[in-house]
Amino acid sequence: MSPACADLQVLLSLRAAGALEPAEEAIVERHLAGCPACRGEAARDAEVLGLARLPPVTEHERRVIAGVPSALVASVRRSGARRFAWRRAAAVAGAIAAAAAIVAAPALLRPRPPEAPAKAAAAAATWQTPDLDQLWSDTEVLELEPIASVDGASGEGASDAAVAALDEGYDGEGDY
């Protein structure tokens, strides 16, 4: 195989598929006229591609294919609109998150003063659970006993006597 044949290998395959430009086709034809090895290669490529050819397109397939561009354009527009809506929603969510980060950043990034470990330990050491019985006796709660009346009776008469005693000190003008 000559260097010229190696350079034309790709062009031979494209010729079999019918994908050559007219200028390239002329170059390949001139080479094939003088090279029996490349003519054999071109024949094998054409035979292989001939086996892979599809049958001719029917009238029904032509009608379906004719409607594809409009349906495809509509589908692409619908998917583009959905994609744009998702992008817009993502952009709004990103903007909200950025605004929240800007608002929260000063509070989160503010340096905290170090706690004095000795002070915390001292506070923990001085705490004692209070003795509720002692607290109750320290409050000196008034003993609520019925007030004895003048005649020595207790009960409703005693409370009436207490009200009467208060009324005696009341001058009617709001002063005792």
Helix 36-51 with 22-34: angle, nearest 10 deg: 120
**pLDDT average, residue stretch 159-163:** 66
Question: In this predicted structure, what is the pLDDT of residue 149?
Answer: 46
Choose between 164 and 35: higher pLDDT: 35
Residue type, 143: E
Q: Would you say residue 119 has pLDDT above 70?
A: no
One-letter amino acid for residue 63 of the chain: R
What pLDDT is attached to residue 53?
75
Structure confidence at residue 48 (pLDDT) = 85
**To the nearest whole number, what is the mean pLDDT of the chain?**
75
Tell me the pLDDT tens digit for each residue of 64-86.
777 777 777 777 777 776 777 77
Contact 35, 1 (CB under 8 A): no
3-state secondary structure of 82: helix
Candidates 50, 33, 38; CA nearest to 11 is: 38
Helix axes 9-17, 36-51, angle to 10 degrees: 40
